[in-house]
Structure 1
């Protein structure tokens, strides 16, 4: 998965799996600094749309939500 070196391929993989890992998200950030083509911009827009519509889940968001939930549970226990 991380060996894929094109934005388009990484986006397609995330959309097909319905999940965007932290590693792929970081790789997309790195690649987007150097691979600025119309095709890549459209691919990133497609991924963003998938995330906004709930078709693609982000590992980074799930980690954040879990931390918030844990803090809430700790406050209730105190």
Structure 2
């Protein structure tokens, strides 16, 4: 399940999932939101498996080598 969540992040067009219905391409059991609404370019949290797990990550948008860093994973 965590591999599926990670794969969704890696293949996303915009890992920040900005805009209305930006996470519409995610499976129904997953959704993304910023950790803090006051910092939309900061860490984000991807909920998966119908809220049984989450993955906190940051995204560094570099031209040649964009990077997603997973800071915390929890799944019960």
Q: Which TM-score band (shorter chain)? A: under 0.3
Higher relative contact order (CA 8 A, sep 6+): 1
Q: Which one has a larger percent helix, Structure 1 or Structure 2?
A: 1
TM-score (norm 1): 0.27
Over alpha carbons, which structure has the higher Rg?
1
Q: Which structure shows the higher strand fraction? A: 2
